[in-house]
Amino acid sequence: MQVLNISITLIFCIFAYVSFAHSAELLHTPLGNTLLVLISWLWLIRAVLQVVFYKLGHKASVGLSLYFLLGACLYGLPVVL
């Protein structure tokens, strides 16, 4: 399980690097737009899974769900605007 967590953390670091270092390419190319949509869907699905598996009975679960929805918006809005 730790290997999975480390791998996912690395993927999120790669997303962050690409987002900051190549923002123009993400916004103005079809490949970039596709990546933005897919990353947005990842965060949206993660928010749904948070509710399905952990419910909203705890403040931390609500906070994480909102955090994941924010991530979905941050990656998805540039594509539609």
pLDDT-flagged residues of the chain (< 70): none
Reported as a single tens digit per residue, the pLDDT across 34-57 is 999 999 999 999 999 999 999 998
Residue of 20, 25, 47, 37 lying closest to 75 (CA atoms): 37
69 is in which domain, residue-wise? 2-80
What sections of 22-58 are H helices per DSSP?
23-28, 30-54
pLDDT score, position 52 = 95
As given in the structure block, the two tokens for residue 53 are: 């598996």
pLDDT score, position 60 = 93
Q: How far apart are CA 33 and CA 31, in angstroms?
A: 5
As given in the structure block, the two tokens for residue 29 are: 């190319």
pLDDT score, position 1 = 79
Q: Report the domain count for the chain.
A: 1
Q: What angle do CA 77, 57, 54 make, to 5 degrees?
A: 65
Contacts of 73 (CB under 8 A, 6+ apart): 40
